[in-house]
Amino acid sequence: MHNKTIAELAQGLHQKQFSSLELTTHFLQRIQEHNKRLNAFVTITDELALAQAKEADDRLSSGQSNTLTGIPIAQKDIFCTQGVRTSCGSKMLDNFIAPYNATVVERFNQAGAVMLGKLNMDEFAMGSSNETSYYGPVKNPWDVGAVPGGSSGGSAAAVASRIAPGATGTDTGGSIRQPAAFCGITGLKPTYGLVSRWGMIAFASSLDQGGPMARTAEDCALMLQTMAGFDEKDSTSVNRPVADFSATLNDSLQGLRIGLPKEFFGEGLDHDIAKLIHEAVAEYEKLGATVKEVSLPNMNLSGPAYYVVAPAECSSNLARFDGVRYGHRCENPKDLADLYTRSRGEGFGAEVKRRILIGTYVLSAGYYDAYYLKAQKIRRLISDDFKQAFQEVDVIMGPTSPSVAFRFGEKSADPISMYLSDIYTIAVNLAGLPGMSLPVGFSKNLPVGMQIIGDYFSESRLLNVAHEYQQVTGWHDKAPAEF
């Protein structure tokens, strides 16, 4: 059962080939068998999952079900889950039991999906390798000596190792797409505002966006159908009708205009990855697409702009974790200043502290105009570059990451090198565009991901473009031998 996609499992449930209880029990057994090696789950919700599965079976038998009813899903541990620990991969929230469900979690519950547990992640979603988690690193199922990518590394590893059919992720600068590439799965970062951020613990509020991670584009479409939609509790939620993401999956790609940014194929990109991207693009040409070179001239400024904007917003968002109301509190504080200082010093890890310090600095008097304001102006230039490109092409394609998954410890001592692993993804977040990664081959026995970027609210087109490729190739079906 674990080798079936969400679409196949849904069909099996509705045809009564197996029950949700049987399916959920199967995945819980696989988690018990493999999680110690992978460290993908930080919380396994056995009792809740089995209770939800029984309820789903009742809904299925009474005909009051939808596509995801009875399907096991795992939640990234950044989404609040009522009565279940929500840690954000941090010591600061190790003891935090959320009193409510995030909107995304609530929507899965209403659809009748089953929650297997909460997935490991870089602390407060800050990282590109899943090495900053308080609970230790997640291992890449293709090579346990390699990182799974971050921050949604637990989500990517769980899906790739077939211990969860699908998982939620969040993407602030590439945190769905880069781990999807490193682990050989499909991941979609929607347009900013399409998926509610309410109950999703904030890192950088103008960049964060939740999205689906699964084996196929078809599965991502099914998950996004449940996740997307206006939420009056989220001031950044966009009030517009939700498209039927599955309806156009099989549309012809005849006449599709693909743009290849020359900035994506320059120095720093691994030669094998460049070759695999061009081979994937050649498959699209066989499907009727045309290809042309485009330019994103301000692409090289996306890294510096992102690492001003994101830390600035994180320093503001993380100010609430002070040891007073909830979360980690130091022992026997002498006074209020000691409470703040020691609680935050003990609760946050090194990468989070680094970004808080940078963010506080760029927002301080005398530096705001020089750094933060300038970064926001660059952000507009990057957005305008994409706008210009989309007048000429329908989608943009390129590598998701400049390399395959790197080894543990290889970049952890060099933050700049680590930050560069997101060089192709962060511009998409700065512009608020949708982007996705899908597997297109292997290099050095590790998966390679290709990124597809679309114009605002073009998720249906992206999913169609990815799905049609997956109909004529088999990279998305490859599984790590051990799992």
SS3 of 197-232: CCCECCCCCCCCCEEEEECCHHHHHHHHHHHECCCC
pLDDT tens sequence across 344-364 = 999 999 999 999 999 999 999
Q: Is residue 141 one of the residues assigned to a domain? A: yes
Q: Residue 205: which pLDDT band, with cuts at 50, 70 and 90?
A: very high
Q: How many CA atoms lie within 13 A of 446 on its CB side?
A: 24
For residue 420, the model assigns a pLDDT of: 82
Q: Is residue 334 one of the residues assigned to a domain? A: no
Spatial CA neighbour of 121 closest among 186, 74, 188? 74
Q: Is residue 110 one of the residues assigned to a domain? A: yes
Please return the burial class of 14, using the count of CB atoms within 10 Å of its CB with bins 0-12, 13-18 and 19+: middle
Domain of 467?
6-256+405-477
| SS3 call for 442 | strand
**First and final CA of the chain: distance in angstroms?**
13
CATH, residue 191 = 3.90.1300.10
Span of 60-69, 74-83, 187-196 with lowest mean pLDDT: 60-69
pTM exceeding the 0.85 threshold for the entire prediction: yes
For residue 419, the model assigns a pLDDT of: 82
Catalytic (active site) residue 292: no
Q: Give, in order, the Cα–Cα distances in Å from 194 to each of 240, 274, 300.
A: 9, 31, 27
pLDDT tens sequence across 368-388 = 889 999 999 999 999 999 999
- Phi–psi pair at 169, nearest 5 degrees: -140, 170
> What dihedral angle (degrees, nearest 10) is formed by the CA atoms of 194, 67, 28, 165?
-60
For residue 366, the model assigns a pLDDT of: 86
Identity (one letter) of the amino acid at 378? I
Please return the burial class of 2, using the count of CB atoms within 10 Å of its CB with bins 0-12, 13-18 and 19+: middle
- What is the tally of structural domains in the chain? 1
202/17 Cα distance (integer angstroms): 41
Spatial CA neighbour of 243 closest among 190, 206, 174? 190
Average pLDDT over residues 20-42: 98
For residue 285, the model assigns a pLDDT of: 98
Catalytic (active site) residue 62: no
For residue 378, the model assigns a pLDDT of: 97
Span of 20-24, 57-61, 420-424 with lowest mean pLDDT: 420-424
Residue-wise burial string across 390-429, b where 16 or more C-beta atoms lie within 10 A, e elsewhere: beebbbbbbbbbbbbbbebebbbeebeebbbbbbbbbbbb
For residue 251, the model assigns a pLDDT of: 98
Q: Is residue 33 one of the residues assigned to a domain? A: yes
Average pLDDT, the chain: 96
Span of 154-163, 216-225, 348-357, 411-420 with lowest mean pLDDT: 411-420
Q: Residue 412: which pLDDT band, with cuts at 50, 70 and 90?
A: confident
Q: Is residue 167 one of the residues assigned to a domain? A: yes
- Tell me: pLDDT of 413 over 90: no
For residue 414, the model assigns a pLDDT of: 81
420/2 Cα distance (integer angstroms): 34
Q: Is residue 197 one of the residues assigned to a domain? A: yes
Average pLDDT over residues 158-163: 98
Q: Is residue 388 one of the residues assigned to a domain? A: no
Catalytic (active site) residue 411: no
Cα Rg of the chain, angstroms? 21
403/370 Cα distance (integer angstroms): 33
- Tell me: pLDDT of 297 over 90: yes
- Tell me: pLDDT of 411 over 90: no
For residue 231, the model assigns a pLDDT of: 98
Catalytic residue among 151, 155, 196, 246: 151
Q: Is residue 184 one of the residues assigned to a domain? A: yes
Catalytic residue among 128, 133, 152, 175: 175
Catalytic residue among 76, 139, 189, 411: 76
For residue 200, the model assigns a pLDDT of: 98
Percent of the chain residues past pLDDT 70, beyond the cut: 100
